[in-house]
Amino acid sequence: MNQQLIDQAVQVANDRLGNMHVDCALLLGSGWSDAIGNMEILAELPYSELPLPGGAQVKGHVGRLLLTRGFGATFLAFQGRRHWYEGLGWEPVVFPLYLSAACGAKTITLTNAAGGVNPAYSPGDLMLIRDHVNWMGSNPLVGAYDPDKGPRFPDQSDVYNANLRSRVKAAMAEQSARLHEGVYMATSGPAYETPSEIKAFRAMGADAVGMSTVPEAMVANWMGLRCLAISCITNMASSVGDGPLSHDEVLAVTQTAIPTMQQLLESCCRTMVQSLDHTPHDRSSTP
Query: Closest CB to ligand HPA among 71 and 135?
Result: 135
Bridge-based pairing state of the strands 180-187 and 64-70: unpaired
Report the C-alpha gap between 198 and 203 in whole angstroms.
Answer: 9
Q: Pick the catalytic residue from 100, 221, 231, 235.
A: 235
* Size of the residue set binding ligand HPA (CB under 6 A): 13
Nearest approach in angstroms of CB 1 to ligand HPA is 26
- Is-contact 83 61, C-beta < 8 A? no
Catalytic residue among 100, 112, 118, 212: 212
- Smallest gap from Cβ 272 to ligand HPA, in A, equals 24
Backbone CA torsion sign across 233, 215, 153, 107: negative
Phi-psi sector, 85: left (phi>0), alpha (psi -120 to 50), beta: alpha
Contact by Cβ (8 Å): 65, 279: no
Contact between 267 and ligand HPA per CB under 6 A: no
Residue 113 annotated among the catalytic residues of the structure: yes
Is 61 a known active-site residue? Answer: yes
Residue 106 and residue 260: Cα distance in Å, rounded?
A: 25
CA angle 251, 255, 256 (to 5 degrees): 120
- 254 counts as binding ligand HPA under rule CB under 6 A: no
Of 69 and 132, CB closest to ligand HPA:
132
CB–CB of 266/230 below 8 Å?
no
68-127 residues in contact with ligand HPA (CB under 6 A) are 113-115
State which of residues 6, 9, 225, 237 lies at the interface with ligand HPA (CB under 6 A): 237
58 part of the interface to ligand HPA, by CB under 6 A: no
Length in residues, the chain: 287
Q: How far is the CB of 138 from ligand HPA (least distance, A)?
A: 16
Is residue 172 annotated as a catalytic residue, yes or no?
no
Q: How far apart are CA 107 and CA 73, in angstroms?
A: 12
Q: Which of residues 128-167 bind ligand HPA (CB under 6 A)?
A: none
Question: Which 197-236 positions form the footprint of ligand HPA (CB under 6 A)?
Answer: 209-211, 234-235
* Catalytic residue, candidates 13, 35, 101, 113: 113
| Helices vs. strands in the chain: H and E counts, helices first | 7, 9
* Residues in contact with ligand HPA by the rule CB under 6 A: 113-115, 192-193, 209-211, 234-235, 237, 245, 250
Active site residues: 30, 61, 83, 85-86, 113, 211-212, 235, 247
